[in-house]
Structure 1
């Protein structure tokens, strides 16, 4: 008899770990009552084993409850994140991104190299990946951010990349561009900001908020 209850409890554990609970506490009690009513008088159920089964069921339900609480907490955090981001609509921001669109011949942004880097090469590539313009920026000062500007590069999808040489090895530098937040959306568990360019950025991509 105990074996059948043990099997049912193990089934409960398996269902709990997979997100379902076909055997809840009430069902377990009904099963236990039926077992007691139909037990063999010559071989009664072991009371300690019964207590162990109750303890196992309680542990499984406690874990299931914690999982539910944690899931609700994560959902709450996601909602709060989206609500906070919605307050950024219409704000001017600076975003870590080298993807530029519809610049109409003028391209502005900034680079944020590590401390100690003396110069950085900023290159503009067209949609085919060809370099159409570049400049070397002196970054030996104490500033954290160094602006750049290109004119006459045309419009369309362009990519800006910034690099410096570290012992002969080329290293990338963050490119930051100004933009305005048009809307906010929640997708695949992530809060996304739609920029004026039509592209999307995450909250982690935002460097500054103004306006």
Structure 2
């Protein structure tokens, strides 16, 4: 009896440090231990029903506390990305750090920046599965901001349908050393909405990007 009670206490205490993803497994373990505790109790001195009821209540409180903490973390992470902030961007031109653009009406547009002069810059467009669809290499690219527009045609000559595509930019100097680059989407904000995960997003020329990715507003 004593050993089973001790194991139950340890499980309930340890659950306070587990993540929300493991709460279901811990709860099942707790119930199994509680059942064993009841089955192995001394029939001449049975456990008071209020005792194990209180244990269930205590564990439920721990479960609720974990869920509350997860909820508060979500609120904290989105504290600066409110819908009111997003709405204030509508009609303005923004620059983002999101490298995914939407191919719409035969065009997907990005902007990229090279920190220093580059001897060669390779542009790769990939689909949502990571497949490389188009590759282009430019030479003698100066430092600063640049733009790239893709018409949806792959290197193999196939025309892709509308959808989201990602641009990857790799730059090297004359010595073959990597040059720092950044990639994003620039355009006018048409609308604001809330994504399924609760984050606030804006529509930039038909591309939905997180509000948190905005790096410049004009």
Give TM-score scaled by structure 2 length: 0.47
Give TM-score scaled by structure 1 length: 0.48
| Higher radius of gyration, 1 or 2 | 1
